[in-house]
Structure 1
Amino acid sequence: MRTVRAFRGMTRAGTRSVLIYRGDLLTGAVTLVIQVVLAIAVWRIVYSGRGPVDGIDAGTAVAYAAIAACLQSVLLPWQFSTLPMRIRNGQIAADLTRPLGLMWQVLGQNLGVLIGRFPLGAIGLAAAALLGALTVPPGVGPTVLAIVATAGGIVVALLCNLIVSMVTFWTFEVSGPLIVYRFGSSFLSGSLIPLWFMPDWLRGAVEWLPFQAQVYTPVSIYLGQTRGGAALALVAVQLVWVAVLVVVLQLVWQRARHRVVVQGG
């Protein structure tokens, strides 16, 4: 129970670290609304005067673009982990002595940041709804499965974010790798371009990566483009990636803990 309470404490701290900066929240909300409006406008222009493309009509493509932008903004904030800062300023030394393991501390904080950004995603979805860009799921089953897939995507994103942030143990400065990861993840997750419209060779490669489990899987299920056994298979892939990423995280942590060098305080 003490471990659970400690994890909840880290989660609350992460949430408060987001909500306390109201100016940043306002700026983030405005930025996301602009991004959603532009995404809707672009896809409506692309489909102007056209029928369905590869079986995807204009309404589905526009709804996908809007929802994916909101989901990606929640899952991948610019500062998604405090681990690099803790390593650089020497706080890692104190963190390693806490009863709650370092990985759980960071995961709790990252989860709190994600929860704190939920209002931004809600604002973006509200803007999309006002513009008539959202569609209703095809039924109760797809809605429930989409919720499960969204939870799976959140777990995959948290694990990927943590693994990438652990590069700091080797480099101390990870601004470059984080930027590459952010933009790479945005593309490979299907946030910028749905997997439907990717060439077969590229889509086949992307489906072997964990990123599509973060955005493409829940959104495609929600919109009814992936149904039945295919939808269940995508959720199963999420579970497989969660297991794989947990193993990778443990291996990286075993190597990283031997490279701890305390700087600063």
Structure 2
Amino acid sequence: MSRRLARCLAVARIEFKVALAYRSAYLSVFVMMLLQIFLLRVVWAAFYGDRGEVGGVGIRTMTAYATLATVQYTLFSPWQLSPIEQRVRDGKVAVDLLRPVGFPSQMLAGQLGWASASVPALLIALPFALLIGTAEAPASAVATVAYPVALAGALVVNQLLFLLLGMVAFWTLEISGLRMVYRFVAQFFSGALVPLWFMPCPVKAVAQALPFQATSYIPAAVYLGQIEGTEVAAALGVQLFWAAALSAITAGVWSRARRRVLVQGG
């Protein structure tokens, strides 16, 4: 187990170093993050107008949510979602299959390494994000403890979704169009743009039936106390459910994708 973990960490370190080579791309991502936070703050300020609260949520809580959700989304959704597509097109997947670590584990480690490369830049951009948006302390002691757990759950669910998206390349080779659709759907239904509590009931029901809420809405809502009491455990349970379900789906998809690779290789 420790040897397998060491190998996965080695893959993550390699992808971390590769990601750092694209500094201009990361800079543009964080500039867009700051712009989105600013625009969301302007939109929500106009939406609230002179009203102190809407649906029991004050303007300060709403702008704090927008700031937190945008930062989370940027951290967990780097511009390079998964290396699988490129490796399938280049044929490097054949080398990956020969390594002493399973292919899904390799790719998941690589994705985590790539995503972690955004942390240094995010730490630099964070003060500006809080200045443009709104900073709020955790709503309670429970929120303080539960938020890091929810954040970890969001990371796991997000990376499993990226892994599944990348595996589509075994059938299509090119997934750039699908990736664009995914980004739009994921950002909306995750609550990164509009929190679930403001969505119309039919749309909210759809969002609650999808895994995307676990990646943005749940951590932010826990932090700000919009999910509290026994609801916190239920929300963390939703993340755990999707982590388990997506892991099982990933295993099933990989079993079929692997056979397809063998067919392509003759």
Q: Where on the TM-score scale, by shorter chain, does this alignment land: which range? A: over 0.9
The equivalent residue for 2:198 is 197
1:61-76 alignment, distance < 5 Å: 61-76=62-77
The equivalent residue for 1:247 is 248
Structure 2: segments with no counterpart, 5+ residues: none
The equivalent residue for 1:43 is 44
Give the 4+ runs in structure 1 shifted more than 6 A: none
Please tell me whether the aligned partners of residues 41 and 133 of structure 2 are also in contact (alpha carbons under 8 angstroms).
Answer: no
The equivalent residue for 1:137 is 138
1:64-143 alignment, distance < 5 Å: 64-131=65-132, 133-143=134-144
Distance 1:23 1:57 in 2: 37
Q: Tell me the C-alpha RMSD between the 2 structures.
A: 1.5
The equivalent residue for 2:5 is 4
Please tell me whether the aligned partners of residues 188 and 211 of structure 1 are also in contact (alpha carbons under 8 angstroms).
Answer: yes
Q: Report the 3-state secondary structure (helix = DSSP H, G, I; strand = E; otherwise coil) of the residue aligned with 2:79.
A: coil
Distance 2:202 2:137 in 1: 32
Distance 2:130 2:155 in 1: 23
The equivalent residue for 1:167 is 168
What's the CA shift string for 1:156-187, capped at 9, x where partnerless?
00001100110000001111111111110000
Distance 1:53 1:33 in 2: 25
Q: 1:16 and 1:120, CA in 2 relative to 1: closer, same or farther beyond 3 A?
A: same
Q: How many equivalent residue pairs?
A: 263
What's the CA shift string for 1:2-24, capped at 9, x where partnerless?
21111001111121122232222
The TM-score, its normalising length taken from structure 2, stands at 0.94
Distance 1:3 1:92 in 2: 19
The TM-score, its normalising length taken from structure 1, stands at 0.95
Distance 1:97 1:36 in 2: 44
Per-residue deviation, 1:122: 3.2
Distance 1:34 1:74 in 2: 15
1:177-216 alignment, distance < 5 Å: 177-216=178-217
Q: Report the 3-state secondary structure (helix = DSSP H, G, I; strand = E; otherwise coil) of the residue aligned with 2:105.
A: helix
What's the CA shift string for 1:164-211, capped at 9, x where partnerless?
110000001111111111110000100011001001121122111110
Give the letter aligned to residue 224 of structure 1: G
% of aligned pairs identical? 39
Please tell me whether the aligned partners of residues 67 and 125 of structure 1 are also in contact (alpha carbons under 8 angstroms).
Answer: no
Give the letter aligned to residue 125 of structure 1: L
Per-residue deviation, 1:124: 4.3
Distance 1:27 1:238 in 2: 30
Of stretches 209-218 and 123-132 in structure 1, the one that deviates more from structure 2 is 123-132
Q: 1:211 and 1:252, CA in 2 relative to 1: closer, same or farther beyond 3 A?
A: same
Distance 1:138 1:62 in 2: 15
